[in-house]
Each structure stands twice: as structure tokens, then as C-alpha cells.
Homo-oligomer: A and B are copies of this chain.
Amino acid sequence: MNSLGRNFRITTFGESHGKALGVVIDGCPPGIPLAEGDIQPFLDRRRPGKSPLESPRKEPDRVEILSGIFGGKTTGAPIALLVANRDVREEDYAELEEIFRPGHADFTWQAKYGIRDHRGGGRSSGRETVARVAAGAVAAGYLASRGIKISGRILEIHGKRDPDAMTREIEKAKAEGDSVGGIAEVLVTGCPAGLGDPVFSKLDALLAHALMGIGAVKGVEIGEGFAAARMKGSKHNDAMTGDGFATNHAGGILGGISTGQEIVARIAVKPTPSIAKTQRTVDRKGREVSISIRGRHDPCIVPRILPVAEAMVALVIMDAYLEQARYRALPGAGSLAGGDA
């Protein structure tokens, strides 16, 4: 379904070449100052066309608040955010109506629904993430006011870890009509201990769910992640001292609950599936065809996924923060819970 979260629950809608993208936020605490100007900078970071290495689609991505605000503050009522599509070019996609693009959701969407909006991928387009970023901005703003900060960075592009080398890899891919992937990391600082629920709502499980739910993500890891599989327990365990944890191999989460340390999550992003290079594929009747996708695409999607990943982490932390807030308020439980969350 198109909703995420229990307490700070978002429901998104919209297609790449439809009228608009939007999100309804349900459960935002009342009394929080919120204006369009608080959200816009997050959308601007995600917006296409900021550099020659990004899709040249011209979208101002201006957010409009439709509801839930009164006198400049949230009221507890649902907040609807709308971003109109401006640079819609249906005609660019006419030839794709009958063809399944490799690496895209064209085939699976058709298999699932028996009908599909082929214009730029319709709802399966990365453009759908505009709504996530808008909602994430509201969450991030609230969390920042509580001292919790979320920040992302690119670790690797096509195997390179030096920034200049990363740029060269993207330029090279673009010149070849190809694309490259990479690895990004999102960090959460200032997060109190106690967020996350054991068993099926572990904080790391919720983060994995949210991050793997970004279109191009193929892997998620927390703390040492896959490297932990090659470590010994005596090395991986984080010793505790009178001053707190001595190390943070766990990535800020133990037993699915935050430790109070920095939370560390990493994602593997696949190379953009839309490439100019000729590829083999089939049409809806199963006939083999060749395809070369010439349009407005990013040769590497990692930089533009970064604000999306940060938004997803903000949404998860916000939801867990509100979940835990309840305990603080309850007599008995409140006094025992350490007071931090």
C-alpha cells in the first residue's frame, strides 16, 4: 500500500507525468510551527537539473500546504502537501507504451495490474519520491527541534571512494551511454536510547524496510553490516564503560532498540536502469525488440537518492520517537524509562 508509519503516518500519491504528486501526513503533533518554506529546501536538494550530470527535466517542485496548519502551526489535523508536475512530456514516452524497459518495473507492473501508466514509469518512477522528501522534511524539522539530526553522504560511486574519481566515473558512464551505481550512508545523531520495538518493529528492521523501499536500493546494512559476518564476537561486541559505549560496531541499535549512539545505515544503489546503450527486451506480445532509452535520465542516481534516503530515515525515527513518547507520559513507566525518550 501507499502508506508508511504508525504514529506519523504518511500516504503518498501521484505519477511521474500526472497532474501532481502529494502526501498526506497523519499524526503530526499539534502546535509545531510549519510553513512551505520549511519544506522547500529539502525538495530543492532532490530536484533534477541542478548539474549537467542530472536529468534536465525542468521541475520547480514548489510545495503547497493544503491543510492541517492554522496560524502558522500544525493543529493535529492531517497535513496535505502538493507538488504540481510542470514539465510533462507524454509524447516522449509514446514508444514505450508497448515495450518493457529492462531493469524497470514495466513488466512487473503489467503482470500485477494488467494496466499501466507508461508515461515515464507512471507511479513506479523515481519522481514519486518527491512526496517522501516533502513528508520527510516535516519529520526532520521536528526531530531537529529535539536535537536529532539526520545527514547522508556518498561513500562510493562505481567502486571509487575519492570525490573527483566519483565524478569521473559518472562522466565516463554518461559518455558511454551507460550508468553507474554506488553506496551511500545515512547517520542519525542525537537520537535518544529506547526507540524501536523488539521483535517485528525493531528500529533496524524499520530502517531496512524504509530504505529498501527506495526504487534503486538493492542492499541495506546497519553498523558493520556485511563486514560483521567476518568478525569475531570479541571484536564486534561494543564494550560498555562508565563513559558509555567504547565502540559502535552495532551502528547505534541493539536488539532493535536505539542505544543513544550514532545510528549508521548504508544502502547499495544499483546503476540507473535507463541507458542510451542498445538493450534487448520484449514488447507486450513477447516479441523481441531492441531499445535505446534517450530521454532525461541521471547517469548515476546516487546523489539524488541521498535526500530521499535521509527522508526515509527521518520518517522512521519520527515514528519511533512518537511511539516511545507514550511511555514517558505514563505514570510508573515514565519514571523508569530513563527519561531520555
**Contact check: which of B82, B110, B123, B235 meets A199 at CB < 8 Å?**
B123
Among the 9-residue stretches A42-50, A51-59, A175-183, the one with 4 or more Cβ atoms under 8 Å from chain B is A175-183
Instruction: Chain B residues near A279: list those with CB within 8 A.
Output: 234, 237, 239
* Contact mask for chain A residues 163-179; partner B; CB cutoff 8 A; 1 contact, 0 none: 00000000001001011
**A193/B108 in contact, CB under 8 A:** yes
Report how many residues on chain A are interfacial, defined by Cβ distance under 8 Å: 164
Task: Report the bound CA distance from A339 to B234 in whole Å.
Answer: 48
Known A-B contacts A2-B199, A116-B75, A212-B208; A108 and B325 likewise in contact (beta carbons under 8 Å): no
A85 to chain B, nearest CB (A): 10
Nearest Cβ distance between residue A23 and chain B, in whole angstroms? 9
Residue with the greatest number of chain B CB neighbours at <10 A, chosen from A6, A20, A199: A199
A219 to B242, CA, bound (A): 30
| Shortest distance between the CB of A145 and any CB in chain B (Å) | 8
- CA distance in complex: A99, B274 (Å): 54
Given the complex, which residues of B lie within 8 Å of A194, measured CB to CB?
108, 111-112
A73-86 Cβ-contact flags toward B at 8 Å (1 or 0): 11111111010000
Q: Judge whether A31 and B75 touch: CB under 8 Å.
A: no
Residues of B contacting A117 in the complex (Cβ-Cβ under 8 angstroms): 70, 75, 77
Looking at the assembled complex, report how far the CB atom of A125 sits from the nearest CB atom of chain B, in whole angstroms. 10
- In chain A between 283 and 341, which residues have their CB closer than 8 angstroms to a CB of chain B? 286-288, 322-338, 340-341
Partner of A220, one of B24, B220, B235: B220
- Residue-wise interface mask of A (1-28) relative to B, using a CB-CB cutoff of 8 A (1 in contact, 0 not): 1111011010111110011111010110
Query: Is A148 an interface position by the 8 A CB rule?
Result: no
**Interchain CA distance A228-B156 in the complex, whole Å:** 12
Query: Does A158 count as interface, using CB distance less than 8 angstroms?
Result: yes
Tell whether A271 is near chain B: CB-to-CB under 8 Å. Answer: yes
Contact of A115 among B12, B75, B260 (CB under 8 A): B75
Residue ID in chain B nearest A33 by CB atoms: B332
A41 in the interface (beta carbon within 8 A): no
Q: How far is the CA of A335 from the CA of B212 in the complex (A)?
A: 31
- For residue A227, which residues in chain B have a CB less than 8 angstroms away from its CB? 268
Q: Is the CB of B80 within 8 A of A13?
A: yes
Q: Given the complex, which residues of B lie within 8 Å of A330, measured CB to CB?
A: 29, 322, 325
B residues near A6, Cβ cutoff 8 Å: 6
